[in-house]
Amino acid sequence: MKKLKPVKKPKSKKGKDTFRQNNELKKMALRVREHIIRMSGNGGCFIGASLSCADLIVYLYKEFLNVSPDNFKDPARDYFFLSKGHDVPALYSTYVELGWLDEARLKNHLKTNDFIYWHPNRNIPGIEFHSGSLGHNLSVAMGVALDCKFRKQKNKIVVVVGDGELNEGSMWEALLVASAKKLDNLLIVVDRNQFQANLPTEDLIPLEPLDKKFEAFGCKVKTINGHKFSQMNNTFKKFPFEKRKVSVVIAETVRGKGLPSIEKRADRWFVNFKEEEIEQLLNELHGNKKAKLTSETIVAR
């Protein structure tokens, strides 16, 4: 088997985030947010949910995962799955910033003649598995983790899931197997933004105490602020959190993070913004006047 080429990462002092690292990540996350905002025109995108997991995805790809176009086909690479596939604007925007995807293609978000259409698609290099239909990628990630264990590989299998997505029974079924097989190469990151589509999770089907539920399924759980790179760094570097246990990070996030006019707004989940609103949102992102928005959630897919 070909030897893995490690992804070059900025060095940190004593394993802590240096200011430089934080700054670099923040700048990248800001550019990712700009792409997401632009993708919310021309038909729209799941802007609120994409903004909630943007920082996590930037951190994971820049600092944690050993995956790059150099090793996409190497069986011993790290694997990443975006189970809440409707947040793919955050993922494809990160690929653009990593230089893996042509920025012009982001405009094809809602065009059927490009594989970039709507949800993660394996025809885009870097995507491991299709998603969009919720509740499936954890099972796939579990299967990959099991296979990697059999092969005695040292790679990491990471899956980002939605909190609302945890209402799918298949998630817990996959977890039962993952724990039974002691898959300590599997890391589940929950984008705990407190919403499932247009409703607060706790009003719909309450999840709390979520950490206890994962623990009851045999996992080792850590809770962090999903927008603070230093917390991510301090936590993810401890992976696996315990030998022979699945690791879970409950990342407390804010839906619409970065845009006060969208943050925590159930009615701004999937939105098709007008051109002038997009300009206002870009300004708002950079700390200027709050946008005056009239467009609201148009559809739940």
Tokens of 169: 């029974």
What span, in angstroms and rounded, lies between the C-alpha atoms of 167 and 129?
A: 21
**Nearest partner of 139 among 130, 150, 151, judged by Cα:** 130
Give me the least distance between CB of 63 and ligand TPP, in Å please: 23
CB of 23 to ligand TPP, least distance (A): 27
Distance, in Å, from the CA atom of 301 to the CA atom of 285, rounded to the nearest integer, reads 26
Ramachandran class of 245: left when φ > 0, alpha when ψ lies in -120 to 50, beta otherwise: beta
47 vs 281, beta carbon nearer ligand TPP? 47
Nearer to ligand TPP, 85 or 148 (CB): 85
> Which lies closer to ligand TPP via its Cβ, residue 84 or residue 227?
84
Tokens of residue 141, six digits: 């990630």
| Integer CA distances (angstroms), 130 to 64, 119, 136, in order | 22, 7, 9
Question: Residue 94 CB, nearest distance to ligand TPP (Å)?
Answer: 17
Q: Which is nearer to ligand TPP, 163 or 277 (CB)?
A: 163
Judged by beta carbon, residue 15 or residue 169, the one nearer ligand TPP is: 169
Q: Least Å distance between CB 183 and ligand TPP?
A: 22
Radius of gyration of the chain (CA): 18
Taking the complex as a whole, the smallest distance from the CB of residue 230 to ligand TPP amounts, in Å, to: 24
Closest CB to ligand TPP among residues 193, 247: 193
| Binding site residues, ligand TPP, CB under 6 A | 46, 49, 52, 84, 86, 132-135, 162-165, 191, 193, 195-197, 301
Residue with tokens 């909190």, as numbered in its chain: 163
Q: How far is the CB of 282 from ligand TPP (least distance, A)?
A: 22
Q: Is the previous residue joined to 209 through a cis bond, with omega within 30 degrees of 0? A: yes
Asked whether 300 and 197 are in contact (CB, 8 A), the reply is yes
Q: Please spell the DSSP secondary structure of 65-96, one letter per residue.
A: ----TTTTT-TTS-EEEESSGGGHHHHHHHHH
